[in-house]
Amino acid sequence: MRAAGRSVRARLRDRIAASDPGLLRLTAGLRTVGAIALTLAVLAPLGADVHLLVAGAMAAMVATFAIREKQLGAQAVTLALGLPVALVSVTLGAVLNARLYVGDVFFVVLIFCAVYGRRFGDRGTALGLIGFQIYFLSLFVGAEVSALPALCGAIAVAFCSSALLRFAVVPATPTGVLLRLRLAFRARLAQLVSAQLDLLDAAPDEMDKALEAVREGTARLHETAMMIQAQLEEGTPDESAARLVQRRIADAEIAAERLGLLLLTSRSAERADTLTLHLPGAPAPSVGQPAVPDETTATLRRDLQALRALVLRAGSGDAGTGLAHVRNRLLGYRDEENLPPAPAAVQDVFRGIGEAARSVLGLRIALDGPQDESDDTPATARSREELDAEDAAIDGGEEPAEEQETGLRRPTTRAAVQVAVGSALAIVGGELLSTQRWYWAVLTCWIVFLNTASTGEILVKGYRRLLGTVFGVVAGIVLAGLVGQHTWTAFGLVLVLIFAMFYVAPLSYTLMSFFVTAMLGLLYTLLHTYSLDVLLLRVEETALGAACGVVAAALVLPVRTDRRTNELLGTVLDRLAEVTEAAVGQLSGGPADELLDKARDLDQALADLRAATQPLTHPVTPLRARRHTARYVVALLETCAYHARTLAATAELLPTHPSIAADPRLRGAAGRTVRNIETIAARVADEHAAARVETGPSIASLLGSDAGTPRYGRITDRVLRHLERLDEAVVGLARPLGVPMAEPRA
């Protein structure tokens, strides 16, 4: 019973870790709700009225979510600086509240300074956010000069409560966050293996659904890997250890994605296209059950289940003889003589399972330290020796600083000007709608500019906020009717809504806006200002604020969506060319390069492009052909990035693996691919560029490799497969991007 209970708890822990990597959303929600609850618990016995309770609750929320630094020391400094900023802001709000024009002008200046402060990093962003939100708070509660002492006291209590929750009750150190992210990576890796197992067993009419699950699992695993990459520097004090974890995470991700592709190929009538794993909604290729004995299929199913168990037990510290036996059997598939009799495509799946087991072993050693080697077979011992040699060869490196734009070209300066103009328009329009609650339009205008960089992104964000607000008004009406004048019941529901708001914020901006608006309906009830007209006015002010933000973004120093996506597309192509050229150069016998860092830069550039294309791929976009083109281009780039990452990972094996040798012919064979990437990048930067994409013989024929080359011995065969698919994907980019094709060379 005790073992069963541990198993249930472990499964629940893994499920939570996979759904919320690093428990970042849970931590944010608990910390914010706890800070608000503690503030109310302190203020209520002191006889604070409802206005002070609401002000304290809002200040605690702002003091908690505004701070984004990773190190606790930096967070403490920012929180300490934030308190005087908040006190000055609320004082100015109370003084200027009755002075119409002076107050409006100051509000616009404050907004400009708050946005401009983003150029100073997380601290500047946090202080600007605190200054703006506390000024808004003063308008919301109708702060007056006579009430300033009590109001400042409530804000001080709120900041102290936030500090207590942040540093004592719900601390989140970089090391702790990284540890939870590593658990999330394992859990998501196990989920992906489960999806691949379903793909193996899926009937022909279920293939599309099973493939979509594999596609989603692959994307979620990559998302977690990127989160770990961002946390490594702060969460791992030793640079060599950080690079080791980075390498092992990359190995595991590549091995898992490759296993999915091999499984899909084994189920397909012909070789599966890598693009199928990256293009949402792409139909599964025609399938046919491989002509293999039932016992071989059963063995394959058993080994996938064993791989999943190996992943889930990797960090348990309780390996046991049974798990060691499973590990040894899977690693044995890396040797040709251990493969069961089956068609080549099915044998490739067994090889892929062996490579995935090796990556799990490397991940376990990197994360948990040395392991018991008493039960190792010769195949497992060889894998350990390879991993040890790779670990010893890992060295640190410095990244070059990127050139920063200046003047109005600087994103923070441009955004500050745009938000200031949009807010001025929102103030004018908002006061025409209501002289009492015009500030809602300003708040919406401010928010739609947060974390956006183009007119299209602002338009989509404004649409989502308006949609969430409309539904939130309905919920606010229902909740206000149920709560009535029960103050503490209303505060309890406010806490629930705030937790939900923070928990869903990274997942859905529409849902977050829904919970915010529903919460505001309860706050209006507490302040005795609730009415249906007030909530409807909230919708009108939200629509006005979003419209003002879009107008300002479109007319003042505009950044068109096409321009931004083209800039980011050019960056992705540049990074892709760098990774490919450096990896092939090292595979050809050239000097070692910082391939891990280059691959990470490529992944980050692709993530930025994916976010920037959301306005083009959003369901409300009327240009359907353009939407399909954007999705197709991003999927092709993800395919290219996968093959480039794999080439980089393979190149890094050269110094440590005697079975892998450099091949000087690769540099010449891959030259066409690199030139094509550069040609496409030049065409994206200048549509009048005359260069054309080259086509011609396959990479293998350019290399002139022998048909008898061992499949998994020398480097040539494995690299060739990825180079050929990378070359095909790059050529495929030319058509949707309008790059002309050159005549094939004779």
- Residue 648 shares a structural domain with residue 695: yes
Structural domain contains residue 237: yes
Structural domain contains residue 452: yes
pLDDT of residue 398: 47
Structural domain contains residue 293: no
Record the pTM: 0.84
- Residue 134 shares a structural domain with residue 184: no
Q: Point out the domain boundary residue: 105, 138, 172.
A: 172
Structural domain contains residue 542: yes
Query: Which CATH number is 692's domain given?
Result: 1.20.120
pLDDT of residue 375: 67
Task: Dump pLDDT digits (tens) for 83-96.
Answer: 999 999 999 999 99
- Residue 569 shares a structural domain with residue 693: yes
- Residue 581 shares a structural domain with residue 700: yes
Structural domain contains residue 291: no
pLDDT of residue 685: 85
Structural domain contains residue 289: no
| Phi, psi angles (nearest 5°) of residue 741 | -100, 140
Q: Which of the residues in the chain have pLDDT under 70?
A: 1-10, 237, 269-270, 287-294, 314-322, 335-337, 370-375, 389-409, 530, 619-624, 655-661, 700-717, 743-746
Q: How remote is the C-alpha of 620 from its chain's centroid?
A: 23
Task: Dump pLDDT digits (tens) for 147-206.
Answer: 999 999 999 999 999 999 999 998 888 888 888 888 899 899 999 999 999 988 888 888
The three-state DSSP-derived secondary structure of 338-402 is HCCCCCHHHHHHHHHHHHHHHHHHHHHHHHHCCCCCCCCCHHHHHHHHHHHHHHHHCCCCCCCCC
Structural domain contains residue 383: no
- Residue 367 shares a structural domain with residue 261: yes
pLDDT of residue 292: 59
Q: Point out the domain boundary residue: 130, 157, 172.
A: 172
Nearest alpha-carbon partner for 596 in 634, 637, 647: 647
pLDDT of residue 403: 47
- Residue 247 shares a structural domain with residue 158: no
- Residue 537 shares a structural domain with residue 682: no
Structure-block tokens of residue 338:
């251990």
CA dihedral 653, 655, 656, 662 (to 10 degrees): 60
- Residue 573 shares a structural domain with residue 521: no
Residues 402, 571: Cα–Cα separation, whole Å: 12
SS3 286: coil
- Residue 37 shares a structural domain with residue 86: yes
Q: Point out the domain boundary residue: 172, 197, 217.
A: 172
Name residue 187's amino acid: A
| Phi, psi angles (nearest 5°) of residue 49 | -80, 180
Q: In terms of residue numbers, what domain contains 249?
A: 179-280+298-314+321-376
- Structural domains of the chain, count: 4
How many CB atoms neighbour CB 71 within 10 A?
11
- Residue 450 shares a structural domain with residue 547: yes
- Residue 98 shares a structural domain with residue 186: no
Q: Are 494 and 516 in contact (CB under 8 A)?
A: no
- Residue 577 shares a structural domain with residue 544: no
Structure-block tokens of residue 742:
């050159």
Structural domain contains residue 699: yes
Structure-block tokens of residue 732:
């495929």
Structure-block tokens of residue 335:
């040797």
